[in-house]
Structures are given as C-alpha cells and as structure tokens.
Structure 1
Amino acid sequence: MSKPKDTAAESERQHRETLEGSSTGKGIAAWVAHRAKPYTPSWILTGAAGVAASAAWVPAHGSAGYGVGLTLGSVALTGATWWAAKATGPQRRLHSAVTVAAGSSWFTAVALSGWNSFTFGAFWLGGSVLALSWNVRQVMRRNPDAVQVAADADGTLLEKVKLAGAKIRNMEVEPNRVTAELVLPAGEMTNDDVTRSLGNIASALDVAPTAVRYLPDPDSARRGDLVIVPRDMLSEVVEWEMPTHVGGSIADPLVIGRYDDGTPLMLWLPGDPKAGRNSTHLLICGISGSGKGDGALNVLCEILGRRDVIVWLSDPKSFQDFGPLRPGLDWAVEGGAPTETMVTALQAVIPARTRWLGAHGYRQWTPQAAEPQTDPAHSCQKGRACGCEGMPFLVGWFEEAANTLRFMGEDAFTGAAQEARSAGMAVVISLQRPSHDQISTSTRASLPSVLAFGLDAKDEGMALPGPVLDAGAHPGAWGNRRPGYCYLVTPGVDEQRYSAPGRTWRFTGRAARVMEQLAAWAVRNGAKVDPVTAKAAAAAVGKAYTERSTGQTDTEAEDGASVYVNDDDAETGADGRVDAEDADLDPNAELGAVPAAMANWTFAGEPAGGPDFTPEEARAAMDAIVAEFEHNGVMVIGPKDVMEHAARFGRKRPWVSGEFRRMVEDGRLAATSKAGRYRIVPAMAGV
C-alpha cells in the first residue's frame, strides 16, 4: 500500500523529539543544532544557488546565447515543477512552482549581469523569505487533532478492517478532519465494502461511530473519500441569541446551527432557478428528548424574521413551545377539527396561487413575486405593468403531525405537498417517529428535505435516504443522549454534507423575550396575506379563516391580558365584521317569532320517537346544525359530528346520512379526500 509522503505521524514524532535532550550547556547546544537541522535544507539550497550563480557569471557574462538558454531553462524548469507536483495538494504545487520560478529567474539575472545592488538585495530578502516560507510549512504540518488518525491510516488500518489491498492515494489533514482518497483493488472490492466496514474503522481508530464517513465517487465503483473527524466539536452547547437575517428574504438561507467542522448548518425552502435549486418541503423528526423542539424553534424563528413570508401553524400541544411567536403567525390553530380546517384551506389556496403566479410570468415563486408587480415582464396585463399586490411565500407548519395524521388519515398531506411547491408554498411536518405506522410512504416521499435528530434505530430508514445511511449517518446512535445533534438532507446543500452531523442552537428561558420581540417585529414589518390567498381560504372555510385567531388565546381574552389583535379589527372595531345584509339590524330590538320549522325543537324530555318533521322542517333543522358548525369555525364535519345534535330531536344515522347526501347535491357540503368527512361550503361563498 502506498504511503503519503508527509504524514501527521512523522510530524508528531519530530515534535516529541523536540521535548527531549539534556539541559546542560553542551546538551542545549546539541539540542538546538538537532532541532535546527530539519529546517536547514531550504537555507542550504539558497546559499548553493548564490554560489552557483556566481560561478555561472564567468562563462555567461556578455553572452547572448547563454542569456537565451538560461531564460528558456528557467521557463522549462518552472513548467516541469508544476507538472511533477500535480499529484500533490494545490497549495504545495503552487508553492513549489513559485519558489522554482523565483530562484531560476534570479539565477539567470546574476549569471548575466553579476552581483549588484539589485541582485544582492533580491538574494538577501527574496531568498530569506522563500526559505522561511518552507520552514513555516514544515511547522504547520503538525496537527495534534488528527495525528493518531493519520498514523493509523498510514499503517495497518485497512488490513485490520478487512480492506487489505486498498490504497490511500492522497491524504488531506485539516484541523479536526482527515480526508483520504481511497482506491480499492479492481474487481475485488466495491464502495459497498467500505460502507459495511465503517463501524470497524471507527473501532480501530477509537472514535465515535458517526465520526467516520465514506463518500463514494459517483463516477466510480471503487473510489471515494474516507472522512474522519476524530474530535467531537459539537459537544459544546451554543445558545440561540436571535435570528441571523432579520428583514431578509425567505429565499436567503435559514441558518439553524453548525456542522461538526464549524461551518453553518443552513437550509432553503423556496427554489432558485438561477442556482438550479428546487423548492422543498421539510420533515422534522426526533424522539422525545432529542432536541427536535429546539430545532423546530430554530427553523421557525428564522422564517418569522423574513419580510416576505406568512405562516399557518397547527400545534396540538396548545403552543407550549411556540407561544411567544404566536402573534407573528398569520393563522394559528390547535389540533383536531381546526387543523382539519386548516389543511382544507391549504389545499384550496394552491390552485389560486398557482394561477396567479402563472398569470404574472413566474414558473416558480421568487422574492420578486412578493413585491408590487411593477415590472411589465411580470404582469397579468398585456404590454404594461399591472400593479397587482405581491404574493408572499406561505409556510404551512404542522407540529406533532402524528396526531393530525391519525385524525385525518395517513395521506392527509400527500396531495397538498405534491402540488404546493409550484404555488410558492412549503409544508413543514414535525413528528417524533417517522415510522410506517405514523406516516405513509407516499407522504414521506413528498417531503424531499429532512432534519433528523436522534431516533430509534428502526426508524432510520424512513427518516434518511439509503445512500446517506450507507455513507455513515447514524441518528440511532444518539437517541436522546445528545440533544440537538442532527442530520440535514435538503436541496442546496452539498450531498457530501448529508452524512455530516450538525447541531442546532439551544433555546433557554432567556430566549422567550427575544421571541416575543421577533413576533412583534413580524406584526409590524412582516408580510401580510395577499388578496388571492385570503379570498381562496375564505371561500373554502369561511369564518374559520376570516375570523381566525391571530395571537390571542381564550384565556388571555377572559383575563383581560394585553393581547395582539388583527390590525383590521383594531381599526374598524366589531362593527367592521358585520355582514352587509345585517348592517340595518338593531341589536336592541325584540326578537321575532320562532320560525315554524324550529317551533317543535326541544332539547330535553322529547319522546324517543322525536318530532314528526316534514321534509321542509328536516331540511331547515339540518341547515341550522351546519350553520352552527360554520359559526363556530368548524368547517370540516362528518355524520358522527352531527349525530349529537340530531339526537336532540330524535333523528338517527340514516336520516343524517340522507341529509348529508342532499346537502352535497345542493353544494352546501363538499367531499374531502378522506371518506366520511365533508367540507362546509361557506354560505357567502355560494352566493
């Protein structure tokens, strides 16, 4: 097996020798001479070049032929050095070529003109600088973080892990990172053999299982880069302080932590046609205690700090973690029926947003789409700027989505996720276990990006792609023992980074105040929902959206606490929400007589058979029940939801089912993707 010329092990051996030796005067002199000896070759060569140039001056002085020959020789020697160093690193190759070019040029000048103030100064200053530069390079070869790894890789490591015959062609030693180009014997091994040996390599080097990764060459079945990170630089907890780019665009990267080499951990949600990056949806997963909650807060805080995005968020945990951010959300609901209504609205706005983007010449959402449309190239009016309001990016966030998936069915998000990317939207789904009993394969396939924290080892295959796991990613090794450790797979990130562990920022109690300020900033400076999205959502779910909660909880309202209210409500008051047809009603007037259709209603003590309704009365009763759901903001219902109300006047399931069929035919209800669930068509939307 070939060995690298300069290894960290040799550097470490030389370093240990510098610490040895006698402390007597004679011993110190010997120690200094011995220590200086490795750094003398560059100085000896510099002196030798001076002597040789002086000797060459005698025959070359005044000779034009010698001048031409020396000049051509200098060029040829420099080119040969560049060619011969092609197998080394780029820094060593450049350093060698510059040294040879400078030395040969000076040699030619002295040989032709002799010693003078210029050639002597160039020899004294230039020669010293070049010699010292090589000494500095020798000193910097020692990397204590990677010494043992490089030493083992240069010895019997590959034989120990049953990869005998493999060769290490090039080794790049960086602070806390060793990258070795591995070449396997032709016809005997493949890259799959290396991936199966990663655990053995980690054991041989005595490092963590996630510290060893293999990145196969996509153009070869027997070549790749073996990456070893011997020291865990993520062990230090770094607290979150504030978003990284407040006031920027959602198209800018969301910085949520750092990788194990200290580089930023970042992702993008919108696509970028210039960079060739597709828009994406995001799955956030991790078992309890793995740091998934802090990871979600990192992502959401980055989103809310951008000027051109709105967020719809569902949280069955009653905003336990997201409470301080709630005022900055365009729409916030808890789990169950309100989340089902939000999903219905999300599905309804997709075609409306897609039509708007297409009409304005956008093949996909870009930051320009969020601005007023003053560019004739992005106009819905032929030949002139249309001046339409912009359309901000929309993020639909579903926290603890396992509850929602159980309530709505496993494919609740599949259709929306598949279509939403072209509509300037991103769906974020957060759950603890991305297992087959929690999320369907179709839904998982529609989420191209994943932020995976510690998991049960059985769920790794559902969370991360197979090639990433083969390269050494192993979130099951963390579980909940290393909160915040994660893997990020997403468009825009180099695929070699997919198997590199990262860690998100830690949220503490001190972050709550900053989160409240961030939400207040979003209220004042963030994007407002565009008319197209608002109209489509209102047409689909009516008051559930138009009278949506915007940062106020029922408890806060009852206690009289200071809460955020919708700006439109603050300006117009409650009267601003009165329907036009009710504007002339006097709220203090006596109520009229009860309609005949409802005169026989009773809520207690009704005989088992119930009242004998005429078809018209039954229709009116069912219309009243649906209107009550709509008034309460519950826009997706099923027969089981109506049975409690129907039982008050003695009606049973067959009657309810018949009324559902009738209301579907009348257009008052619309079927959803889940059997037995129907969307209430808002009364105003059908007029």
Structure 2
Amino acid sequence: MNRGRKMRRHARKMRGYGLQPMVVINHDERLPDLAAVVIARALWRYRSELAPLHILGTLAIGGTVLHATRPGWWPYILGAAMATAWALGAFGDRLGLTSRGERLYAATVTVTVGTWLAAATAYGITAWHLPHALALGGLVLAVPWWAHRRRRARVRVDRQLAAWPEIAQAVGLAGSRVQSAVVDVWGWRARLALARGQTLAEVTAKIPAIESALGTHRGAVRVHPTRDDRADRFELRVLTTDPHADAIAWPGPSVETIAEPIDLGPFEDATAARVLLLRRHALIGGIAGSGKSGGINVLMGNLSACRDVVIWAIDLKRGMELRPWARCIDRLATTPDQARVLLRDAVAVLEARAAWLAGRGRRTWEPTPDMPALVIVIDEYAELADDAPETIGDTDSIARRGRAVAVTLVAATQRPTQKAMGKGAVRSQMDVRMSFRVRERRDVDLILGQGMLATGWHAHALNAPGKFLITAPEHDTPRRGRAYLLTDATVAETADRHANNRPGLDLVSRTAVEEAHAGLHLQPVSTRTAPKEAAGVGTRDEAEDDPESTLWDMLTGAPVEGTPVAHLVNGTGMSRPWIYQRLRALADADRVIQVSRGRWRATGEHSQ
C-alpha cells in the first residue's frame, strides 16, 4: 500500500514537470492477482445490489453441506425459520423495519428461505425442482429489494460518506471523519468528528461548499451540535425531501394551562417546536407574507384553550388580524387611544400584583383560573410605536417587571429596528424570538439577536410561508420549523368553542384597573364589540350604577326571547368572560335561563 502511494506521488511530480509517467509491469507481479483485487472491490462496492445473489449462493452451498452431513436437521431448520418470521413480523420495528410492508417482506423471505433449505437438507439440492425454485424464487424476491427506496438511499449515502475524506479536503475540513450515519424518511444524517482545532462555526460557514461537494440542492444541508454538545463533534443532516414543502394543518390546542409549553409546529425531524411562555416575553418577526400572522394564530389558538390566561390584544389595523379571536380576547384595542389605556391598565395590574405578592411574602404569581396570567398580544408593534410613542414607556415597564407577576408581552412586527422597538429594554427582554422569513441578512440579528446570522441562523434563506427559526432557553440551535396552518374556518370554530370558558381578571387586577380608570376619568376600553351607540343600546352613567345591578336590570327587563350577550356587554361595559361568569352563577341559582344560543333573561318569578 505504501509503495502504491509513493508511485502515485512520483507520477504527479512527473506530470508537474511536463513528463508523462511510464507504466512498468514488474515480472514478480501476477496479472491474475490484480484482476482478483478489481473483482473483490467491485463485489464490495456493489454488495447491496448483489445481496440476493450472495444469499442464493450461500443457500446452495449450505443445502449441499447439510444434506451430506446433517440430513435429519430439516425439521429444526423449518421450525427456526417459522419462529424467526413470526418475530420479524411482531417485533421488526425494533430492528429498523418501520413499515408494515418491510416486516411482511422480511417474514416472507425468511419463510421461503427456511422452507427451501429444509427441503434441500432432507433431499439434496438436485431433487425435484429445487434448483429451478431457487433461481425463480430468488429472482422474484430480489425485485422488491432492488426497488426499495430506502435501501437505494442507504447505498447512495454509504458511497457519499465513503468519499468524505476527499470532500473534507475539498471544503477545508481535512482530518474530519464520519462516525455513524442513519437514513430516515426525509434524507439522512451523520455524526462526524472534527480534526483538532476545527470548530462548529467553521463547519457552519462551509455549508454552501458542503452542499456543492455532496451534490445536493441549495438549502438541503443542516449542521447541528451533537446531543452531548461536544466541541469536536457535529451532526450533518441532508434533506432529500423537504418535510415542510406543504402546509401542515393545526391538530388543535396542545396545552390547557400556560404552565405547559406550546406546540408551534414540527421541526424537520418531526419533533415538536414547543416553547414555554409563562414568565417570558416573545418577539415574532418576519416580512409581509412570511407566515407571521399564522404564527400568531397558533399562539392564540393555544392561549384561548388555557383556563388560566386572560388575553388582551392591540391591533391598530382596526382589528383586521385579531378580531376573529374577539370572543376569546378580554380586551381588544384597535385605536391608539384604546392602546394607551390598555397598556396603562396593564402597568396598573402588574404593580397591584407586585404589591399583593409583597404583602404576603411571595415572589411569583402562580396562574390559576381564579388568578390567571395576563398575556398582551401586540400585532405590528412598529405601528404602535409610531402612532402612540408615549406607550413605549409602558411596554418597557411590562417587559422589565412583568415576569414575576405573570404579565407577558408578545410583540409581532415586520422589522424590529431600534426605532420600531423604542430606545428602552423591550427587545432585550424578549426571551423567546421567533423569526419567519426576512428580506435582508442583517434583519436576522435584529430579530434573533446580535451575532446569530454568523452562527447559522439563516432566516433570510427560509423559502416558504410559515417556516421559522426559534431561539429560546430550550432552543439554542438553528432548527427550521413550520408553523401550523389555521384556516379562517378553524379560527372561527376554535374561538366559538372556547369563548364560554374564558376567565376574567382576578379581584386584585380588576380593582387596580377600576382605580386607574377612576383616577384618569376614562371609560373602559371597548371589548370585542362595536361602540355602544353603534349597537343601539343605551349607555349609562357608571357613577350611578355598578355592573352587577345593571346586568340584573337588563335581565329582568329582557323580552321573552331574551337579551343577546353582546347587549349585556355593551350595557355593563364589562368583558364577555365577566358576563358569562355572572350568568353561570345566576343560572346555578335558578335566577336566569338561556332562552337560545347567546340570549338570556331572568326566570319567570324575577322578570318584569
């Protein structure tokens, strides 16, 4: 082997001097030996394709030997084949036979081979038509093997990885070596060891060169740290099929409490992109058409299913994005003035909760249905900063002080520049960053954090709506996910299903909001409905009546067909969850009845 290397080096030097090397055949070397080496290499290279022929040859030799030495063993051979076939059918998935077809094929081959070998052991391979059965059966059973997609993929991967030393030399990773490889439904992944002094950052920077060397399409290669997070190891993943090529329908809420991580959508390896929102603020970024609104819908669909969360929302596009969720939103601000009041109330809530916790010697607010968390969703945060710049101080205060008291801020924007996010600490306080496609490379660092582009977080390369990268305490590597798709019908159905189970603010928070309104001499922000005048319902002087009395007066004065809940909301000025809580309590006391869907009135003995 050393002699061959020396000869090749010598030949390269001669070509460098413009000389053509001569081929000299040593009389001590025999040509048959060289031919044997070539044949052996070909047999090894094409061992997967030739596997059926190898098995046929082994069966012929084995049948001959067993018939000559142990002809009485045929019952044991047949029994062992049947038992093995049953085990493959029952437990083949543990051996990598993931599909039912693969297990059935393996069991069929085992039974056929065992039956033929038992017959050959008992009667000899020349008896009856055993040679013809061997040839014909081998050909028939070899066709599925040759056509199997995963086998062919594994062969291609083996040959690519066999050439890794040359590939590594070409891309500047000389000395790295393959440790293991696995073929899956979407492509393949391999664990590689780096040479001394090489780093994962160097490998990430060479991804385009690796794609070229492997002959893949652009964007097919992923580089991740290994599970044990060793600095001299990395995982190379190559996608032959994009698992996110098509939209993925939302399977429904993945949580029932905000204390559980929310499933935003699958990663490319089919694992769920789960993220915890409790005591964390979130930033969602991406250009128009990137799927950012779809990500917000996934969050809203899960938050609406949580009985320990009150949702407030700001949508300065007149509610175009968030109004479909209005039945599950406790307060929806669609104008700059309403947004100012809502954020001011949120600051009052967090201050009241902090004082309440301090008075009881507690440090954190634990969300329950009676003491829910407060999540404030702001769509197009940049518009809020432009139209109501004085709210920046309130959002800054919520971002800095909201974690312990379970007041969470979720801000979505197309480009979170310093101007859009204000000069405060809002962006720096965002623990969860979710980036859909961005137009410019520098926007990656604006959304995900400084230096993220250089370490492989290439949000500018996302090539379909809904694809995203997420960074959070539990997600510190650049893995691509795709947000679930919620159609308009799904949004409407989900909002209707959860509307009647939404909690209201706790007494501490509600009192703080009422005191803030009294100090500001402002009416509460309209919640999920049009202004009272537009609904045709008379307003009231809130200084004269309390909401409980107004609600009862409206129910006792309701017509036979009942009063719509929307009118009760407008007449009392309270939120829909508050109305439903009072209606349930009155219904339990047999004081009110539900006449039809969404219409209530007092019972006969209380009605006027």
Residue 396 (structure 1) aligned to one of 363, 369, 376: 376
1:389-428 equivalent positions in 2, closer than 5 A:
390-406=370-386, 407-408=389-390, 412-428=394-410
- C-alpha distance in 2, partners of 1:318/1:10? 71
Offset at residue 44 of structure 1 (A): 9.0
1:222-371 equivalent positions in 2, closer than 5 A:
222-240=232-250, 243-245=252-254, 248-270=256-278, 279-357=279-357, 363-366=363-366, 369-371=367-369
Q: Report whether the alignment pairs 1:538 with 2:538.
A: no
CA contact (8 A) 1:260 1:501 kept: yes
Offset at residue 432 of structure 1 (A): 0.6
- C-alpha distance in 1, partners of 2:248/2:504? 33
Q: Which amino acid aligns with 2:259?
A: A
Q: Which amino acid aligns with 2:348?
A: A
**Which secondary structure does the structure 2 equivalent of 1:421 belong to?**
coil
Alignment-derived partner of residue 380 in structure 1: none
Residue 525 (structure 1) aligned to one of 463, 477, 501: 501
Q: Report whether the alignment pairs 1:484 with 2:484.
A: no
- C-alpha distance in 2, partners of 1:550/1:230? 49
Alignment-derived partner of residue 452 in structure 1: 435
CA contact (8 A) 1:313 1:331 kept: yes
Residue 212 (structure 1) aligned to one of 188, 207, 221: 221
TM-score by length of structure 1 reads 0.56
Q: Which amino acid aligns with 1:500?
A: R
- C-alpha distance in 2, partners of 1:131/1:352? 64
- C-alpha distance in 1, partners of 2:267/2:359? 41
**5+ unaligned residues in a row in structure 2: which ranges?**
1-41, 96-104, 108-141, 538-545, 557-572, 574-608
- C-alpha distance in 2, partners of 1:185/1:239? 43
CA contact (8 A) 1:311 1:331 kept: yes
Offset at residue 431 of structure 1 (A): 0.6
Offset at residue 331 of structure 1 (A): 1.2
1:121-140 equivalent positions in 2, closer than 5 A:
123=80, 125-126=82-83, 136=106
Larger mean CA deviation between 152-161 and 465-474 belongs to 465-474
| Residues 154/131 of structure 1: CA separation in 2 closer, same or farther (3 Å cut) | same
- C-alpha distance in 2, partners of 1:202/1:397? 40
Q: Which amino acid aligns with 2:372?
A: P
CA contact (8 A) 1:145 1:176 kept: no
Alignment-derived partner of residue 501 in structure 1: 480
| Residues 265/287 of structure 1: CA separation in 2 closer, same or farther (3 Å cut) | same
Identity between Structure 1 and Structure 2 (%): 24
Alignment-derived partner of residue 58 in structure 1: none
| Residues 53/306 of structure 1: CA separation in 2 closer, same or farther (3 Å cut) | farther
**Which secondary structure does the structure 2 equivalent of 1:487 belong to?**
strand
CA contact (8 A) 2:176 2:194 kept: yes
Alignment-derived partner of residue 191 in structure 1: 200
Render the CA deviation track for 1:245-277: whole Å, top value 9, x for unaligned.
Answer: 58x22223323332223333332212xxxxxxx
Alignment-derived partner of residue 188 in structure 2: 178
Alignment-derived partner of residue 177 in structure 2: 167
CA contact (8 A) 1:291 1:484 kept: yes
**5+ unaligned residues in a row in structure 1: which ranges?**
1-8, 18-33, 56-113, 271-278, 372-389, 577-631, 633-687
**Which secondary structure does the structure 1 equivalent of 2:223 belong to?**
strand
RMSD: 4.3
**Which secondary structure does the structure 1 equivalent of 2:179 belong to?**
strand
Alignment-derived partner of residue 447 in structure 2: 463
| Residues 46/316 of structure 1: CA separation in 2 closer, same or farther (3 Å cut) | farther
CA contact (8 A) 1:215 1:471 kept: no
Render the CA deviation track for 1:471-515: whole Å, top value 9, x for unaligned.
Answer: 53311123xx6211111223445x4xx41211223344xx2x443
- C-alpha distance in 2, partners of 1:167/1:567? 73
| Residues 44/184 of structure 1: CA separation in 2 closer, same or farther (3 Å cut) | farther
Alignment-derived partner of residue 90 in structure 1: none
| Residues 363/50 of structure 1: CA separation in 2 closer, same or farther (3 Å cut) | farther
- C-alpha distance in 1, partners of 2:273/2:44? 33
- C-alpha distance in 1, partners of 2:399/2:547? 31
Offset at residue 334 of structure 1 (A): 2.1
Alignment-derived partner of residue 21 in structure 1: none
- C-alpha distance in 2, partners of 1:120/1:232? 45
1:71-86 equivalent positions in 2, closer than 5 A:
none
- C-alpha distance in 2, partners of 1:344/1:452? 28
CA contact (8 A) 1:42 1:131 kept: no
Alignment-derived partner of residue 550 in structure 1: 527
CA contact (8 A) 2:436 2:469 kept: yes
Alignment-derived partner of residue 419 in structure 2: 437
CA contact (8 A) 2:286 2:414 kept: yes
CA contact (8 A) 1:169 1:183 kept: yes
CA contact (8 A) 1:286 1:453 kept: yes
Residue 158 (structure 1) aligned to one of 151, 163, 168: 168
- C-alpha distance in 2, partners of 1:365/1:11? 66
Alignment-derived partner of residue 625 in structure 1: none
